[in-house]
Structure 1
Amino acid sequence: MITIRRTYMPLATYPEAVDDEAIRAAAGFAVSLGGTLEVTTFSVDIPRVPSPLAGLLIDIPGLVQAAEDKSRSECSRLHDLIRGIGSPAAVNCSSREVLLSGLLDAAAGDARYYDLAVLPWSRDTASAQHLIEAVVFGSGRPTIVVPGSAGPAPRLDHIAVAWDGSRVAARALGDVLPLLQEGSRVSVLTVRDEKPLAGAALASLLASSLEKRGMKADPIEITLGERTIAQALQERALTEGAQLLAMGGFGHSRIRDFVLGGATKGVFAESRLPVLLSH
C-alpha cells in the first residue's frame, strides 16, 4: 500500500531547458497530486573529440566548455525556480552530470524508482519532447505530460479516460485511478470512427464497471470529423471539464527511433491539458 506518493521530474538543460512557464505548470500540477516531488536536473559532459583542426579557426574546446558551464548554471537556476512552488518538505531538487549520449537512458532508468513521472511539455523545445518520449517508453511508469497552459488541480476530481478496450488503455486506467479523490467523476471517451473496435458500447461497459466500484462515470462516444484523434480526445476532455486525460501510449523505440500511434503522436505534437500516458 502506497502511503507517500513519490513523483519524479527529470529536466534536461542542454542544448536548452524547456521554458519556465511549462516547468512551473508541471511542478505545480505534480505538487497538487500530493506526496513528494523529486526533481533531477541533468547537466551534460560533452566528449572532446581530438582533431588536428580544432582551435585553428574556431575554439572548439572553448565552445564545449562554455556549453557545459551553461548547462551546470541552468541546473542551479531551475532549482531556484522550482523551490518556490511547493513547501520544502514536498519538493526536493538534485543535479546529476551525465554523458550527453546517456541522458535519455539515465532519466528513464531513474523514473523506474518512483510512482509516476511528471514532465513539462513545450512545442518549441525538441530536447523536452525527446525526454518525454524516452520516459514514456523506457521507464515502465505512468507519465503525465503537462503544457505551460495548465494550472494546478487543487483537487483532482474529474478525469477523462480514452478507452478502446486495449491492454494499454487498461494499463492507463489502472495507473490513473489511484490519483483520484473520493467521489471523483470519470468521463469515458470512445472514438467510434478512428479504427475498428473490439465491440460495441465499450464506453458504457467501462462506465458501468467503474460505477460498481463506487465512482461516478459517464460514457461518451465521439467522432473525429475533420480532427485528428488527439485533437478530438483533448477537446472533449476540456469540454467536459476534466483536469486530466489518461490514455495508453502506443509506440516503441529503437535507439530513439520512435514509431508512434496516432493519438500518442498527436499529444506529443500538441498538448492542451495534462495527459497521463501509460505504456
Structure 2
Amino acid sequence: MRTLGFVPLLTHPDASSEKFVMNAMAVAKHLDADVYAQCIYVDIPDVSNAFSGVLLNVPEMIREAENKSRKAGEKLLEAVAKAATEADVSVTTEETNAPPYGIGEVAASQARYGDLSMMEWDTAGSSARVVAEEVLFSSGRPVVLLPTSMTVGVIDHIMIAWDGSRVAARALADATPFLLRAKRISVATVLDEKPIDKNIGERLALALQRRGLAAEVLTLNIGGRAIGEALQAHALEFGAQLLVMGGFGHSRIRDFVLGGATADVFNHVRLPILLSH
C-alpha cells in the first residue's frame, strides 16, 4: 500500500507559498508517496444589511476577498502541477469552499483520509498556525510542519524526542515511513526538564536496532531553555533533517492549550518536524 500525503492549499487570509508546495513535493518524493492536494477557497457569508452597503460597501469587500482567494488558489494549483512533474510525484487535486472560521475544520476533516499531512509553517503567518493546530489536534493523523525559511532536501538523519509517553510512542509509530528510509536515527532524551527514567533512550534504541534500524542514543540537557527550542537546536547541531515528537494539547471551543514542548515548537519552527497527537 502506498503512502498518501495530504497537502492543504490555503488561500485566505494568507495564501500558501510556492516554497511550501516545493517542500511538500520533496517530502512526498522522499517517501515515494502520492499526494492529495486540497485548495480551500474562502466563502464569506453575506452579512450585509441596509446600512453596511451604504457605509462600508461590505458586499464589494466580500467579492474582492473571494476573488483574491480564487486567484491565489489558481496560482497554487499551477505550482502544484509543476512541482509534482519536476519531482515525479503523483498528485490528485480538489477545490472546495469554506467560511473563514471553518478552513481549519475542512482541512482536518480531509486529513483523516491520508497517512500524514504536510503543513506550511511561517512564524509570521497566524492563519497557517491556526490551521496547522486544527489539523494536528483534530484529524487523528500526524502532521509534518515545513518551515518556509528552509528548502527541504535529503532526510536521512532523524531525531526522535523520546520520553516514553503515549504521544511519543504514537509519533514514533507515525514516523515509520521516515524511519525505514533513514541512514541514522538519534533517540534523544532530555534529563533536566522533568523526572525521567534514564534508561528509556537505550531501551528504544535497542528496540529499533532489533528491527534492523541504525539507532543511537543522545542524552540532552536544556540548561534552562524552552524545551521545544532546545530540541530543535540539538537536532540542528547533530545534523538531523527531521525531528519527531509527540504533540500535547486539547481544544476548548477552538482555542488550543498546548503543552510546553509543543507550544515552543509552534512558536518557532527551524526544521521539518513530525508531530503526532
TM-score by length of 1: 0.93
Offset of residue 22 of structure 1 = 3.4
Q: Which amino acid aligns with 1:72?
A: R
Q: Which residue of 1 aligns with 2:170?
A: 171
Offset of residue 250 of structure 1 = 0.4
For residues 167-207 of structure 1, the C-alpha deviation after alignment (integer angstroms, 9 at most, x for no partner) is 0000001111232345632101111111222x222211111
Q: Does 1:18 align with 2:24?
A: no
When residues 190 and 40 of structure 1 are mapped into structure 2, their CA distance, relative to the original with a 3 A threshold, is same
Q: Which residue of 2 aligns with 1:147?
A: 147
Q: Counterpart of 2:175 in 1: which secondary structure?
A: helix
Q: Note if contact 2:158-2:182 (Cα within 8 Å) is conserved in structure 1.
A: no
For residues 1-54 of structure 1, the C-alpha deviation after alignment (integer angstroms, 9 at most, x for no partner) is xx2111001122111113333343233323332121111110011111242311
Alignment gaps of 5+ in structure 2: none
When residues 34 and 89 of structure 1 are mapped into structure 2, their CA distance, relative to the original with a 3 A threshold, is closer
TM-score by length of 2: 0.93
Matches within 5 A, 1:186-265: 186-197=185-196, 199-265=197-263
Q: Which amino acid aligns with 1:129?
A: R
Matches within 5 A, 1:56-205: 56-87=54-85, 90-154=90-154, 156-182=155-181, 184-197=183-196, 199-205=197-203
- Structure 1 Cα separation of the partners of residues 8 and 253 of structure 2: 19
Instruction: Write out the 4+ residue segments of structure 1 that deviate beyond 4 Å after TM superposition.
Output: none
For residues 107-132 of structure 1, the C-alpha deviation after alignment (integer angstroms, 9 at most, x for no partner) is 10100000111111101111100110
Q: Which amino acid aligns with 1:92?
A: T
Does 81-90 or 59-68 show the bigger shift? 81-90
Offset of residue 78 of structure 1 = 0.6
When residues 62 and 183 of structure 1 are mapped into structure 2, their CA distance, relative to the original with a 3 A threshold, is closer
When residues 130 and 183 of structure 1 are mapped into structure 2, their CA distance, relative to the original with a 3 A threshold, is closer
Offset of residue 92 of structure 1 = 2.7
- Structure 2 Cα separation of the partners of residues 89 and 246 of structure 1: 24
Q: Which residue of 2 aligns with 1:4?
A: 2
Bigger proportion of residues as helix:
2
Q: Counterpart of 2:136 in 1: which secondary structure?
A: helix
